[in-house]
Amino acid sequence: MIIEMRTYQLKPASIPQFEERFGAALPERLKFSPLAAFWHTEVGPLNQVIHVWPYDTFEQRVQVRAAAIASGKWPPATREFVVEQKSELFLPAPFSPPLEPRQLGGIYEIRMYSFAAGAIPGVIERWSEKIGERVKLSPLVGAWYSEIGALNKWVHIWAYKDANHRAQVRAEAVAKGVWPPGSAAAGVLLKQENMLVVPASFSSLR
């Protein structure tokens, strides 16, 4: 499986209109392949929407996108709202859960880490040792590493009931010693970013 994460920077105050048009066009797009998730930012870089599309292969992605465009029903008429677009392709870590419709929480945290070249296999190994205990505290939505786009990038996404639940879970994980998995101590973690996002009404992950 490959995972495409598309991040759009929108003009201020345009998210409701963007989501309305995107949602109206989505049923036609879903005839070609599923949408895993659609979020907009609440904390972090504002006025961003993030949509996540899983594909079996790179070739399927090319074919699906071409067919969707040829249908004349996609993309939705949202260009007037878009300031900037970014597309990144990721591969899932062995322990990353399936991207399937689930009701998980009111907010999601997307954390994006940049690592030194060649560090990702070690990151996966260290996470594999700890992830079983960590997911007992809150659901892991995905743990992915970049294949096309910014290299040596690690994205992990967590679901929480709300911001207070996030704070409680993170404090409990540290107190119990089940998290974090030690990548920073290994000296290979170069950069960290995060954002809190909320799902659109049509997102498969809610």
Given pLDDT bands bounded at 50, 70 and 90, which one contains residue 132? very high
pLDDT at 185: 63
pLDDT at 125: 95
At 22, which CATH number? 3.30.70.100
144 within domain boundaries: yes
182 within domain boundaries: yes
The range of the structural domain enclosing residue 185 comes to: 2-199
- Position 155 pLDDT exceeds 90: yes
Between CA 197 and CA 206 the distance in angstroms is 11
205 within domain boundaries: no
pLDDT at 160: 98
206 within domain boundaries: no
pTM of full prediction above 0.85: yes
- Dump pLDDT digits (tens) for 163-190: 999 999 999 999 999 999 976 666 799 9
133 within domain boundaries: yes
204 within domain boundaries: no
Between CA 36 and CA 33 the distance in angstroms is 10
152 within domain boundaries: yes
Task: Kindly state the average pLDDT of the residues 113-137.
Answer: 96
117 within domain boundaries: yes
Number of domains forming the structure of the chain: 1
pLDDT at 105: 83
